[in-house]
Structure 1
């Protein structure tokens, strides 16, 4: 897709957002491990594209340009926040922009839900409460009528099971 110049309607930009927003978020969350940060990054990149669309008139592959911009912004986020060490090996394990398609996202979503259905009920419940609902271990323990250490054990087992099936926590947060 090309943005043809400064006089082009915002409908074209809106189409870009509709077509790629989810894919861009999925791509970025692999780097940031933070859905709120990812959404901010993608929105910032898209806003900059909208503001500078006259500079993009000659770009043949706006999708590649946008993915590259999101990747760079995500890596900048990691560097600024030093949330973890970022290595070339980690980067190599992430999906490339070509791999982030609606079909791939749908398959990952389905795989995640199949794996979650196979978890024991308590592990599933603890995982959802802590990572999706953002509840504290103490709150989850009280709701489930178990100790905090038991909540941690359930989470550890659930995460080990998901890692065994190549599901990263960032993917879990995005696809749930």
Structure 2
């Protein structure tokens, strides 16, 4: 961030964009349900960040700043465009890690279907905390809800996922999961 702000380093900015674009695109997509608009929203946010790079050091938490900027920009897009079908399905993709490679394809499909089956707010909170790695406090700031609401929604999401996946999990999985 220092190189971007003080050296006007476009290479550093491109790398920062690349590192953050996809998760912000997914977040924007949950609001507008349109690929092109979601891309435009993210690009608008990054363009404004570049234009105001001299003030980057004033941003306390750049990750929260980006999510809030995307949320606000998406709200502006929604106000300017025609009403959308609010019943549309949200799609989230789990990023692979070594443990997920070991999961069978069938279980992977059950996990994705279970996440898709979560209520909208639970799904959004789950995605931001578990997939994007944000803290509950950051999610609360981004979504402008209380910390308690975030933790409650995350608890609901995890319980629903455990219930949906219980038949596919080893017998002792629930007991070992709760001990951690």
Q: Whose relative contact order is higher, 1 or 2, with alpha carbons under 8 Å and at least 6 apart?
A: 1
Larger C-alpha radius of gyration, 1 or 2? 1
